[in-house]
Amino acid sequence: MSDPRRWMLAATALVLLATAGCGTKKPAVDPNAKATPHTALDDDVAPADVTTVDLPRGADPSYGATPMAQRVAVIGLLNKRNGIAREVTLKPGEATRVGDVIIRLSACEQTAPWEQEHYTGAFVQLDVQQLDKSWHRVFSGWLYKERPALNVVQHPIYDVWTKSCAMTFPEGGPGSVSAGSSESGATPRSSARKSPAPAPAAVTPPAAPTTLSTAPDSNPR
């Protein structure tokens, strides 16, 4: 006859195993979920259809736009105490002092005319003189004319904003070529086979000289 203690231990072990199995929940599967597509980024080996292109040395990403040093920006300055506003004209790298304010222009930019959205921005730094005659920089960043809320000068007395940035772009967009121009200066010719020229028609001389009419020509050209 077997020991009842062994039977009790075996029964207890079975109960524990069953309880542990019931407590494990499988993750719910959404039947409407779409499988994530496999892309080349999931592979450790680079795909064969991806190539690296080196830009030529000296390539200008601004596509012939006015160089930064030759651009001219107009910055607006407002004194909130007396409500006086004035305009300050600067080139990148220049600074001007108006009372106890120094305005520095590091760069100015505007989007090309062929872009869908137009932005005019300037990187401005504003220094204000304190009561102890020390200078404190209260703003440094880009200010956009069309989107003034993107960056706001938080100062109780002074406010600055971008009014314009004078610069030009190549006419017609990047990489444009004037119509009819080529490397040799001549009009490019078609490589298609030309049809033979028709034979000249016989010219019949007029029977008698005609008199030119002085009436205006009503046939539009």
Residue 141 has pLDDT above 50, yes or no: yes
Report how far residue 178's alpha carbon sits from residue 187's, in angstroms, rounded to the nearest whole number. Answer: 11
Domain boundaries, given as residue ranges, for the chain = 73-166
CA distance 64 to 178: 15
Greater confidence (99 vs 203) lies with: 99
Does the model's pTM come out above 0.85? no
Q: What angle do CA 126, 88, 65 make, to 5 degrees?
A: 95
pLDDT at residue 124, rounded to an integer = 96
| Residue 195 reports pLDDT greater than 50 | yes
- Tokens describing residue 121: 């921005």
Report the DSSP beta bridge partners of residue 89.
74
Q: What is the pLDDT of residue 216?
A: 45
